[in-house]
Structure 1
Amino acid sequence: MKLTVLGTGDTVGTPKIGCDCEVCKAALARGLERLRSTYLIEVEGHHILIDTSPDLRKQLLLAGSPKIDAVLWTHAHYDHIAGYNEFYRIQKYPPGYAAKGVMDDVAKYFHFVDFKKYPQTPYVPFELFGIKFTFVEVNHPGMYTCGVIIEYNGRKIGITSDTNDVLSDRTVAAFENCDIMFIDALMNPTIHIGKHMNYAEAIAFADRVKPKEFHLVHMSHNIPLDWKYVCHDGFSVEI
C-alpha cells in the first residue's frame, strides 16, 4: 500500500494570492507549492482518496490520472470537499465514505450530484480493498470533523485532519503508537487559532501519542518550507 500526500496546504494554499512574504516567494521559486488537503492511497490496482480538495484536477494530473475507486471525507469544509465535482465527465463519481454527520454535510453541498453514500460510525472500522479504515472524532470548532486511522499489513497510519489539541481520551488512544502520522499544524508557534494546532502544539501532540514518525500538514504560509517535520506535496510512504 502506498499513500501520497497530494496537498499540504491550508484553505488558501501557499503561495497565497497577493502575498509577497518570503515563504510564498520561496514556494514559487522552488516549485514547492502547497495545494489543499488530499491524500491518495494505492493498493493492488485500486485508488482511494481521503478528501477532495479544490485543487483535485491538478493533483490527479500530477499523480498520473488514476481512476478513483472510493473517496473518504473528514469534514465538509470547502478546502476538503469542493474538488469532488472534478469527476464530472471524467469517470463515474466514486462512492463516498464518511462519518454520518460529515456525509450529511457533503450530501447537502453536492445536492446536484447522484453518488453512492456509505455513512460510517466513528470508532467502528470498515474495510476497503483490504485496508481497514476508522474515523475518529476530532475537535474543529464550527464543523463536525473526523480524523482517519489506516491499518494495513500490521502497520498503522494516523491522519488528524483539521483539529485543535483538545481531544477526547478515546481519540487520543486511537492515535497512539502509529507507525506514521500526519498532523494538522496551521500556524507558526507565535500564532494560536482555536480551530487548529500550531507548529508547537502539533509537535507536542506527537510527543503525546508517540508515533514512530510524523509529518506536519495543512500548513499556512506562516510556516517556512524547511522547518523540521514539515511535509511537502508529493511525499509518499509505503507499508
Structure 2
Amino acid sequence: MKLKFLGTADSAGFPVHNCLCNVCVYHREKGLQNLSTSAYIKIDDSHILLDAGIENISNIFDGKKIKSIFLTHFHADHCLGLLRLRHSNDYIPCYHPKDENGFSDLFKHKHSIGYNEIKEFESIIVENIKFTSIPLKHSKNTFGYFIETKNVNIAYLTDCSGLPIESMKFLKNKKIDYAFIDACYDERKNTGNHLNYIQASDILDELKVKNGYLMHISHTTLEYILENNIILRYKYVKANDEFYLD
C-alpha cells in the first residue's frame, strides 16, 4: 500500500505558460512539469484518488481500477479531470463536501460518477481504509481528510488558509504519522485563500506530527526559496513522491 503524488503545485502548476522565472525556465529546459496537487492511494490493484484536477487523469489510470474518489472541493484544479473520467466504463463513487454548484456541468451530466455529499467529520471506509472529512478554511466549502490504514494515520490538508478550531481539536487527539498541508505562499503573503510555509509549519508543529510535509507550492514561492537559500522546517513534497503505508 502506498500514497503517491501526481502533482504538488498550485493551480498554475509549472512551468507557467511563457513565464521566464528561474523555476519555470529550469522545468521547461529539463522537460519537467509539476501539475496541480493530486494524489492517490494504491492497494494491490485498486486505486483511491485524492482529488482529480489533472486533466488527463483518465489516461493515467486507464486500465486500472479506481475504487473511489475523495474530493477536497470543487475548484477546477482539483476536479477538472472528472470531465473526462465521468465517461469511464466503470461506475466510480465520489465523496465530496456540500456544494450546490459543483464545477461545470458535473452534477447535470454525472454519467459514471456517483456523487456522494458527506458531512463534516463523517467517516467513509473503502478497502479497509477509513477516511474522515476535516473542515478547512478556504474560498469554497473544502474538506481535508484524516486517513487511517491498519498501520499508518495521514492528515491530508489542501487547500486552506487555516483550520477551524474543531478541526484542530480533532487532529490534536490523533496520532499523525504523515501530514501534508497547503503552503502555497511564502512569507511575503500572509493573508489569502492559502497558507504560507511559515503558517503551515506552525500548524504542523502544533499538531506534533511524526512526519510533516508542505504542498500546493507556487512557482513564485519556489523561486523565492531557491534565490534566498531559505532553509525550511518542513520539506515540500514533490510530484511523483511515494510514501509506503504498510
User: Is the pair's TM-score, using the shorter chain for normalization, greater than 0.5?
Assistant: yes
* RMSD between superposed Cα atoms in Å: 2.2
State the partner residue of 1:237.
Answer: 243
Return the match for 1:106 from 75, 80, 102: 102
**Distance in 2 (alpha carbons) for counterparts of 1:171 and 1:89:** 35
Tell me which amino acid in the other structure corresponds to 1:158. A
Could you say which residue in structure 1 is the equivalent of 2:164? Answer: 168
What secondary structure does 1:200 align onto?
helix
Instruction: Supply the AA of the counterpart residue of 1:175.
Output: L
For 2:72, which of 59, 71, 74 is the aligned residue? 74
Identity %: 26
> Does the CA contact (< 8 Å) of 2:45 and 2:65 recur in 1?
no
- Residue matched to 1:54: 54
Secondary structure at 2:166 match in 1: helix
Output one character per residue of 1:58-110: Cα deviation in whole Å (capped at 9) or x when no partner: 8x53x7853312111111101111111222555335111113x14x4437640
Cα distance change on mapping 1:192 and 1:42 into 2, 3 Å? same
8 A Cα contact 2:79 2:103, kept in partner: no
Aligned equivalents of 1:232 and 1:238: distance in 2?
15
TM-score if structure 1 supplies the norm length? 0.88
- Cα distance in 1, alignment partners of residues 165 and 73 from structure 2: 21
Q: Give the match's secondary structure for 2:81.
A: helix
**1:103-142 → structure 2 map (5 Å cutoff):** 104-106=100-102, 109-110=105-106, 111-114=108-111, 115-140=113-138, 142=139
Runs of 4 or more above 4 Å deviation: 225-228
SS in structure 1 opposite 2:26? helix
Q: For residue 170 of structure 2, what is the amino acid of its counterpart?
A: A
1: CA distance, partners of 2:20 / 2:104: 37
Residue by residue over 1:178-237, the C-alpha shift from the partner in whole angstroms, topping out at 9 and shown as x without a partner, is 100111011122123421101111111111112111111111102227664011100111
Confirm whether residue 196 of structure 1 aligns to residue 203 of structure 2.
no
Mind listing any 5+ residue stretches in structure 2 that lack a counterpart? none
| C-alpha spacing 1:185/1:32, structure 2 compared with 1 (3 Å) | farther
Change (3 A) 1:14 1:116: same
Q: Secondary structure at the match of 2:65?
A: coil
Q: TM-score normalised to the size of structure 2? A: 0.86
Q: Establish whether residue 4 from structure 1 lines up as the match of residue 35 from structure 2.
A: no
Once the two structures are superposed, what CA deviation does each residue of 1:14-47 show, in whole Å capped at 9, x if it has no partner?
1111210011112233454211121111113221
